[in-house]
Amino acid sequence: MAKEVYDASSISVLEGLEAVRKRPGMYIGSTTRKGLNHLVYEIVDNAVDEHLAGYCDKIQVILEQDGSCTVVDNGRGIPVGMHEKGISAERLVFTTLHAGGKFDNSAYKTSGGLHGVGSSVVNALSTYLDIKISREGYVHHDYYERGIPALELEEGLLPKLGRTKETGTCVNFLPDPEIFEKTRFVAAEIKSRLHETAYLNPNLQIEFEDKRAGSEETVIYHEPEGIVGFVQDLNKKKEVIHEPIYFKGENEGITVEVAFQFINEFQENVLGFCNNIYNAEGGAHLTGFKTQFTTVMNSYARELGILKEKDTNFTGADIRNGMTAVVSIKHPDPRFEGQTKTKLDNQDAAKATSKVTGEEVVLYFDRNLEVLKNVLACAERSARIRKTEEKAKTNMLTRQKYSFDSNGKLANCESRDASRCEIFIVEGDSAGGSAKMARNRNFQAIMPIRGKILNVEKATIDKVLANAEIKTMINAFGCGFSEGYGNDFDITKLRYDKIIIMADADVDGAHISTLLLTLFYRFMPELIFEGHVYVAMPPLYKTMPSKGQEQYLYDDKALEIYRKKHKGEKFTLQRYKGLGEMDASQLWETTLDPEHRMLKQIEIEDARMASDVTEILMGNDVPPRKAFIYEHAADAELDV
């Protein structure tokens, strides 16, 4: 049959699919769960393009019971007619790399780095892909297996399933387990991305439905207030100091849209989007916005006498202290650079954003003097703290010794090869003591911390820096820290490949882990994004059978399995309540030894997901916090 549906002209197509399957990472970033989610985003983004072209206002995303995903839109339907190459246009879209743009009437390509490489990549990486296209009065059908068409065409045209008056596209695909390490979609991440898409497209309704056993739910995302609603949502648990400010403008074919709002907290959260795609590494649009905003605010500060003649200007970071902003631009020909191809490179985007910002911000603040004064007060506070911080940093650096800080608490390892080194942050002095004895001192460092460190989400930077344990930790890691995202932090200086949080498997332990994760996310976010942060999973039980080997069990499920397997046999069960109950050799065996231990890698896709996660972890709502810990514990990437 393959011969019938696949003629000689398709050899290059086969080669293309083969290339995708050989090096999937090149097309979707990775084959971990992050890559898996990208499959969904690829298909959804195509439907969003159809919305941007003005023909689709509803998209449905369904996680099916069988592990597949369905994306339905009510657009015009992908063209099914004969294309010049002698095959249906739909086949061309799903089998050739980068075919998307050819049919795309909209002025906006969404080729944002990993995105827009399109439907053919999803097809190549799926066990099967089934597509139903409603247009021109019929439902047209096509079906592929691992990217290869499996239906016979009738005179070059797709078979029809029946008549319809509707139009639209429905794609159902099953990720291929030969390609992906994990094939279970993570609903939380997909939902977060869909919600964001809804904010960026206020006239679009997105329905998410999870049909998988045990996690059934339906959520509808429709955000008619657009990016203003986005900013409000990002700030929903914060103390805001004014209503969100919104403006939109156009310059040389580039549309610029900005919403921002200040909160009473020491942090900056400025997110950039180009053609609806999040730019994790920022880029020209953010530079244009930030630079212009700094200039405008400094000149207001002088005008109002907040800055005197002898004073130096506020820094950009001072001025953005407390700012939450979404900068969304539409560019006819976006280009991306950077490590993950998520940094907008077009210099005309900086110019356009700067021009629109310069005009609009002045229009607003000229009429809203009170808001202006409140925002400048945030900058003043930040400048004061910056100066304290600079002093604190100098003190810290001059005092710093590599192996032992002034408290002598860090037991460092001998190796200086960062790629091999690990640092364990251990709760409690007694567990810390055992860990120091148990470790392999060649490559494992131990840093005990006492009690609960500061809740950094609520503390100011000078308080954070005054905390001895935090200081020691920052010194030990070696890469500095950043207030806000990415300014003074150099991940290449990191001294340990793995930072492993080791806490008891109880409520206090969970709290300590949460505080540490918050600290890392706020001041050293790349540690998390680049996968250096782990949580150790000490065993919950040890079984001691009257005959046979002792065995450590890491969770209740393992115990259940053990009980089934050893039915009728006698064994004593020891339950570990804390790390302190294990002696050094047990601790080595169960929690330190790379051959036997279990680590959970902390995975957060990027800053915008993380800001939700921090909210969930640190907020005062107990139920969502439980849900988060539970869900992620169940999904844990076990590095056994």
Considering the complex, what minimum distance in angstroms separates the CB of residue 197 from ligand 0RA?
A: 14
* Nearest residue (CB) to ligand 0RA, 52 versus 375: 52
Name beta bridge partners: 219. Answer: 208
Q: Which three-class secondary structure string do you get for 415-475? A: CCCCCCCEEEEEECHHHHHHHHHHCCCCCEEEEEECCCCCCCCCCCHHHHHHCHHHHHHHH
Percent helix, percent strand, percent coil in the chain, to nearest 5? 40, 20, 40
Residues 6+ apart with CB under 8 A from 180: 31, 32, 35, 36, 125
Name the minimum Å distance from CB 636 to ligand 0RA.
Answer: 35
Over 336-350, what HEC string results?
EECCCCCEECCHHHH
The C-alpha atoms of residue 224 and residue 339 are separated, in whole angstroms, by 34
By CB under 6 A, tell whether 101 contacts ligand 0RA.
no
Locate tokens 């890392």: which residue? 520
Among 10, 60, 169, 472, binds ligand 0RA (CB under 6 A): 169
Total residues at interface with ligand 0RA (CB under 6 A): 13
The verdict on whether 427 is a catalytic residue reads yes
Distance of closest approach, residue 14 Cβ to ligand 0RA, in angstroms = 23
Tell me the residue type at 35: G
CA dihedral (304, 308, 309, 312) positive or negative: negative
Task: Select 42 or 589, whichever has its Cβ closest to ligand 0RA.
Answer: 42
Under rule CB under 6 A, residue 110 binds ligand 0RA: no
Q: How many CB atoms lie within 10 A of CB 620?
A: 6
Neighbours of 450 (CB within 10 A): 12
For position 88 contacting ligand 0RA by CB under 6 A, the verdict is: no
**Best CA proximity match to 529, nearest among 327, 348, 280:** 280
Active-site annotation holds for 337: no
Residues 500-559 that bind ligand 0RA (CB under 6 A): none
Per DSSP bridges, beta strands 205-210 and 58-63 are parallel
* Residue 379 is a binding residue for ligand 0RA (CB under 6 A): no
Interaction with ligand 0RA in 35-74: which residues (CB under 6 A)?
46-47, 50, 73
> For ligand 0RA, which is the closer residue by CB, 121 or 446?
121
Nearest residue (CB) to ligand 0RA, 103 versus 364: 103
Q: How far apart are the first and last CA of the chain?
A: 44
Q: Which is nearer to ligand 0RA, 45 or 612 (CB)?
A: 45
User: Which residues neighbour 281 within 8 Å (Cβ) at sequence distance 6 or greater?
Assistant: 338, 339, 340, 342, 343
Q: Which is nearer to ligand 0RA, 47 or 254 (CB)?
A: 47
Please state the closest distance from residue 188 (CB atom) to ligand 0RA, in A: 25
Could you say which of 504, 589, 606, 612 is catalytic?
Answer: 504
Q: Are 268 and 485 in contact, with CB atoms under 8 Å apart? A: yes
If one asks whether residue 78 binds ligand 0RA (CB under 6 A), the answer comes out as yes
Q: Which one from 178, 250, 506, 639 is the annotated catalytic residue?
A: 506
Is 402 a binding residue for ligand 0RA by CB under 6 A? The answer is no
Q: Least Å distance between CB 169 and ligand 0RA?
A: 4
State the SS3 of 298-335. HHHHHHCCCCCCCCCCCCHHHHCCCEEEEEEEECCCCC
Identity of the residue, 46 or 267, whose beta carbon is nearer to ligand 0RA in the bound complex = 46
Cα(42)–Cα(237) distance, rounded to whole angstroms? Answer: 32
Residue 116 contacts ligand 0RA per CB under 6 A: no
Cα–Cα distance list, 212 to 136, 207, 409, 450 (Å): 34, 16, 48, 42
488 is catalytic: no
Stretch that binds ligand 0RA, among 100-108, 260-268, 275-283, 296-304 (CB under 6 A): 100-108
Q: Quick check: 111 binds ligand 0RA (CB under 6 A)?
A: no
**Which CB atom, from 64 or from 104, has the smaller least distance to ligand 0RA?**
104
Pick one of 104, 145, 345, 581: the residue that binds ligand 0RA (CB under 6 A).
Answer: 104
Region near ligand 0RA per CB under 6 A, out of 77-85, 207-215, 398-406, 511-519: 77-85
Angle ∠(207,208,212) on CA atoms, nearest 5: 145
- What's the closest the beta carbon of residue 606 comes to ligand 0RA, in angstroms? 25
Which one is catalytic: 427, 469, 589, 612?
427
**Quick one: 49 or 405, whose CB is closer to ligand 0RA?**
49
Q: How far is the CB of 76 from ligand 0RA (least distance, A)?
A: 4
- Give dist(CA 380, CA 357) in Å, integer: 22
Q: Is 504 a catalytic residue?
A: yes
Q: Angle 543-546-550 (CA atoms, 0-180°, nearest 5)?
A: 35
Positions that interact with ligand 0RA (CB under 6 A): 46-47, 50, 73, 75-79, 103-105, 169
Q: Give the active site residues.
A: 427, 504, 506, 508
